[in-house]
A and B are shown apart, each in its own frame.
Chain A
Amino acid sequence: MKAASLTLLLALTWTSAGAATLTVNPGESIQAAINRAAPGDTVRVLPGTYRETVFIDKNDIRLQGVVHEGRWAVMDGESRLNDGILASGHGVIIERMWVRHYKGNGIMTQGANNYQIIDNVVEGPCFYAIFPQFGRNGLVARNFVTKSDDAAIYVGMSDGVDVLYNVASHSIIGIETENSRGQLIEGNYVHDNVLGIATTMLPGLPVKTAETTIIRRNFVVANNIENFAPPGAITAAAPSGIGILVLGTDTTVVEDNYIRDNRSAGVLVADTSFFVTTPDVRMDPYPDELRLLRNTYLGNGADPQGSVKAILESAGQSTGVDVLATGKGRGNCIAEREAVRSLGIRRFEDCAPGTTSAATLSMRPSQPVAAPEYTPEQVGRLTYLAVCSGCHTYNARLVGPPMLAIKALYAGRPAALADWIATPTRRRPEYPEMPPQAYLPEQVRLAVANYILGELEN
């Protein structure tokens, strides 16, 4: 079938119960279709190349790329645009899109519940390929993600998320859950990253706990590339060659994984302070109640790197191990202790025979969770977090100027700031020009402008 006839067919397709399907042809704007769509609608994107940022703030939108005879709907940021797809609407489904070369996020959900990010290809260089944040009940499945300057799949401050059957490679971290509760990371193939899979608790964030993660039946192989994180980034401290990292998180299960040829260690269990020294006394830095069950370890620790090498040498060892525990967590256990080359597990008990996570098939709730309508204040904060915070800090230069200067410039003029955000012009020769954020609806730009000029403080 040729593309033209496919277009005609799709344009005439309507789903039941009044939900419509809108079709986007090459040369047209995906955002324009999103703007026309109503909750429950599907936006189908035909094969072709689209150079834009898409923002979805409506509920129950399905953004679906059409793959036809091997040709995909490609969104190309040309290493010029910051973000590919940003979604804050609940119940969004993003599927079969090929998203490449966005500088910030490939696909991000922010404050969205009941989302699905499935069957996409996300290629860097980017910061995060797939980044759901502040969401409940999420599914991230069967995506191919590569070349992220941080985590390729990064579940941040979320609850009830399944990360299943993805392939993650050539990034600092293949898959990471951060300050989140209730994750199932299963069946993924994670290879050729600096660090394969990480469940972490980091300081300085509003969520102060991280717990209940199952890391199961993954293939965690040869995560040995050199660390290319910029100096000063938290991830710059990650030694190359870690298969699975449990950093300060509680009630983690590591079971039935195939962990092979990670040159520093198969599994590293560490206190938060092993990587991050910023004090955040509200957090318990120790990884507690870890269940390190039966896994297959092969060839790990052959050539330890960085801090792992140093810590092994301090113990008189020159080669790495399958399991390295530097932390002082309580209530941890390990199965088949004698089969595992380990260091630092004196405080671990033996797991009770038969201990398994097999009964847990999903961490997602059985029913969709509530889909709250956000207030303008919440929209402003969430949008700031998703769109602005990557380049601006309050009182210091980052990529862009400090917000303090912007507050002074636009004091009492939120509408003017909202307009400028849509179509920025270069005002300071010492800073790069800000990419236009016209994809944000006017009320969203106004909400974030009000937040910046009002509530945002140091």
Chain B
Amino acid sequence: MPEKVSGAGRLLVLAALLPVFAPPAGAQSRNEQSAAEAAYPCPVPADPAAALQAMGELYPQKHDRNKLGCAADLAHAVATAVPEDVELALQALLVTVEYIDHVNTLWDYDLYGVRVPEWTVRLTHAIAQGREHEARLGELAAELPAVLAARALFEVSAAYRMGDAAAQLAAARAAIARLSAATTAEPGVLDGNGMHLLGRLYFELPEFSGGDVERGLQALAQAHQLVPGNPAFARHYAQALDLERRPEEARAVLATLLALDPAPPDWQLAADELRNGRDLAARMQATELQRQLDERRAALLREHPQLLTRASSAANLHGGVDPITGKAY
């Protein structure tokens, strides 16, 4: 979240914009009750300073979807009250993207879609808010590198679960154009997140849909060089190298995860990427590295037991262990 927030003195309609968020009636799915769990209380701050303080307290607790959702709602309210403020709109959009990504990840691990109603309600709400800021930023500062990159992040995240294949492809291709422009002007835009997403899109899209493995690898490498302490950048780059049959380079990049020293807002990210890194090391048969990454993750989880372990509902549904060996997977 950007540290500096301006225009906070003009939040006249803040309270009116912060009801308890509740799902619409009629959400249906395999677990209809789960839609009700999309509701979360959000404080109604007395004044703008209190709103910013509440947001600042909630935002770092990224393991908690309700707190992150509430932080996004507060950022939305703050930005909506001052519609001409680019920084506030950018902040609101980026916090919203983080919340959307968080819910997308929860949905990822809900392989059998048991809680789809909850995820759908949450995403619908967040995307609607994000779209307001995305549109406003397009009007106010469309060519600003940070705006270009933030809009790309939002469109890709919004389409990831809630868009069909055509929407996902369209978002990805539009994002490549925006991210190319943004990173050309400012390679480290949004703390390297622009370059990182550009690399992932190039790497993952089919060649005939705009994908380019080599350009993807280059951008992933550049993102990792720009912010070597970002565990997601390191892991994605290592994974891409491994998939391209460059295991020695992959192993060296993956080993940088051992040097992680995450600050509170990044604890969940670190736990997630240590898990992913451990699993990647296992696939690469880098046994010692796998053990070390697992130990680091276990220590982090012991130290911060509130963090999510990301147990997959597939494992959940299947009992979570190999039925023959009894080993967890």
Using CB atoms and an 8 Å cutoff, list the residues of chain A in contact with chain B. Answer: 111, 134, 202-206, 208, 230-234, 273, 276-286, 306-307, 309-311, 313-315, 325-328, 330, 343-344, 346, 377-378, 381-382, 384-385, 389, 393-398, 451, 455-458
Contacts and interface: CB of A to CB of B under 8 A. Distances in A.
B206 interface: yes
A281 B164 contact: no
Most buried by A among B161, B245, B321: B321
Contacts of B329: 205-206, 208
A233 B243 contact: no
A311 B319 contact: no
A283 B283 contact: yes
A389 B320 CA distance: 11
Contacts of A134: 323-324
Interface in B292-314: 311-314
A232 B113 contact: yes
B31 A396 contact: yes
3 closest A-B pairs by CB: A232-B113, A204-B314, A307-B165
Contacts of A280: 279, 312
B251 to A, nearest CB: 14
11 contacts: A205-B318, A205-B329, A231-B29, A277-B160, A278-B109, A310-B168, A311-B165, A311-B169, A313-B166, A314-B169, A384-B323
A278, A314, A378, A394, most chain B CB atoms within 10 A: A314
- How many of chain B's residues touch chain A, expressed as a range? 35 or more
Contacts of A377: 326
B29 A398 contact: no
A381 B29 contact: no
Interface stretch (B42-50, B178-186, B207-215): B207-215
Contact of B280 (A281, A309, A382, A394): A281
B319 A384 contact: yes
B207 A381 contact: no
B314 A344 contact: no
A276 B319 contact: no
B34 interface: yes
A232 B29 contact: yes
Given A134-B323, A273-B204, A314-B169, A286 B318 contact: no
B326 A203 contact: no
A362 B311 CA distance: 38
A432 to B, nearest CB: 13
Interface of B: 29-31, 33-34, 108-109, 111-116, 160-161, 164-166, 168-169, 173, 204, 206-210, 213, 235, 239, 243, 245, 276-277, 279-280, 282-283, 311-327, 329
Given A314-B209, A344-B208, A381-B326, A456 B312 contact: no
Given A281-B279, A309-B165, 10 more contacts: A205-B329, A232-B112, A278-B312, A281-B235, A281-B280, A282-B279, A311-B165, A311-B169, A378-B323, A455-B326
A206 B314 CA distance: 10
Name the prevailing secondary structure of the A interface residues.
loop
Given A278-B108, A278-B109, A394 B165 contact: no
A382 B166 CA distance: 40
A389 B169 contact: no
Contact of A278 (B30, B111, B115, B169): B111
A286 B213 CA distance: 13
* Most chain A CB atoms below 10 A, which of B33, B115, B282, B314: B314
Interface centre among B29, B169, B327 (most CB of A within 10 A): B169
A265 to B, nearest CB: 13
A277 B324 CA distance: 27
B323 A203 contact: no
A427 to B, nearest CB: 17
Contacts of A398: 30-31, 112, 114, 317
B269 to A, nearest CB: 14
A313 to B, nearest CB: 7
A315 B33 contact: no
B169 A378 contact: no
A307 B29 CA distance: 22
Contacts of A279: 108, 276
Contacts of B282: 282
A344 B160 CA distance: 22
A381 B321 contact: yes
B169 A205 contact: no
Contacts of A286: 243
B30 A310 contact: no
B318 A385 contact: yes
Contact of B320 (A234, A281, A325, A458): A458
Contacts of A389: 317-319
B111 A385 contact: no
A349 B239 CA distance: 24
B319 A385 contact: yes
Contact of B313 (A202, A396, A397, A451): A396
Contacts of A231: 29, 113, 116
Contact of A328 (B113, B210, B213, B313): B213
B206 A457 contact: no
A231 B164 CA distance: 13
A311 B161 CA distance: 17
A314 B169 CA distance: 7
A389 B323 CA distance: 12
Contacts of B326: 377-378, 381, 455
A206 B321 contact: yes
Contacts of B33: 397
Which of B166, B206, B317 has the most A CB atoms < 10 Å from its CB? B206
